[in-house]
Structure 1
């Protein structure tokens, strides 16, 4: 049960956006910029970073919705997302993306966990400064989104089909709604 009065028809962050529309505008703008804006990382790769971080934070709503969006926008779909969330080392993604995901998970832990060694490993796989920047910022932002959603005990659907629908909408429309 949510800690504040939220629309029970709106799951997760959607109910919080409806509750405080004035905070929804900058939060949606940030998500749109990070996940759909100009970046050398593809939309699917950025959604996958959000999904992996949300999975690590055990945020069912954010993991479910961003895993579904990643599945809609990545070659290999759901199988790639599920394998990556299960373990980066054996994930069917590029070595560069694996290195960036390690940085994202370190950021999830604490920003100080992003070491020179992790950055050097990503650079050795071809990661650019912009990719490093975007990875850390996506991971940091999703820690905030995850804590916002779970900190107010929003409703997270149990039915995987609900997330599949959210993923289709996010893939098609982004975060500018």
Structure 2
């Protein structure tokens, strides 16, 4: 049960967006840019980074929703996403994506574990400075989104079908359609 009266029965961040449309606009736009905007990383890869960070933060709503969004956009589907959420070191992803996930894990802990050595390790397997930047920003933003969702006790669907439905909407329409202005 949410900690404040949101005036709706919507799940997770969707309920918060409906409660405060004025803040939903910029938060939805940030998610749209980070996860769907032009990038050399695929939408699925960026969603995978968001799901991994959310998993490490223990945010069930964000982890399960972004896992569904990633699964809908990656060739390996849900099986690949589950492997990455559990242990990216053994998941069948490219060395570059593995290095970026490792970098995202460091950001999830705090800023200080992001060392020059971790950045260089990502560069050595082909990550560009823009991909490194975007990975760090996705991970940092999802720490904020996760805390926003969990700190206000939003509803978390238990039925996987709810996340599949959300994935269909987000992959078709994006985050700004989900965030009223």
TM range (shorter): over 0.9
Give the superposition deviation at 1:117.
1.2
- The alignment's C-alpha RMSD in Å is 0.8
Name the counterpart of 1:101.
Answer: 101
Name the counterpart of 1:167.
Answer: 167
Name the counterpart of 2:42.
Answer: 42
Name the counterpart of 1:158.
Answer: 158
Give the superposition deviation at 1:35.
0.4
Give CA-to-partner distance per residue, 1:72-113, whole Å, 9 cap, x none. Answer: 001111111001111011111101000000000100000111
Name the counterpart of 1:67.
Answer: 67
Instruction: Point out 4+ residue stretches in structure 1 off by more than 6 angstroms.
Output: none
Matches of residues 1-177 of structure 1 in structure 2 within 5 Å?
A: 1-177=1-177
| Count of aligned residue pairs for this structure pair | 177
Q: Could you say what secondary structure the match of 1:140 adopts?
A: helix
Gapped runs of 5+ residues in structure 2? none
Give CA-to-partner distance per residue, 1:142-168, whole Å, 9 cap, x none. Answer: 000000000000000111111111112
Give the superposition deviation at 1:64.
0.8
Q: Could you say what secondary structure the match of 2:4 adopts?
A: coil
In 1, the alpha carbon distance for the partners of 2:53 and 2:113 equals 14
Give the superposition deviation at 1:9.
2.5
Give the superposition deviation at 1:7.
3.9
Q: Could you say what secondary structure the match of 2:88 adopts?
A: coil
Normalization by structure 1: what TM-score?
0.98
Mean Cα displacement is larger for which, 109-118 or 96-105? 109-118
Normalization by structure 2: what TM-score?
0.96
Gapped runs of 5+ residues in structure 1? none
In 1, the alpha carbon distance for the partners of 2:7 and 2:149 equals 14
Structure 1 contact 8–155 (Cα < 8 Å) conserved:
no
In 1, the alpha carbon distance for the partners of 2:8 and 2:154 equals 9
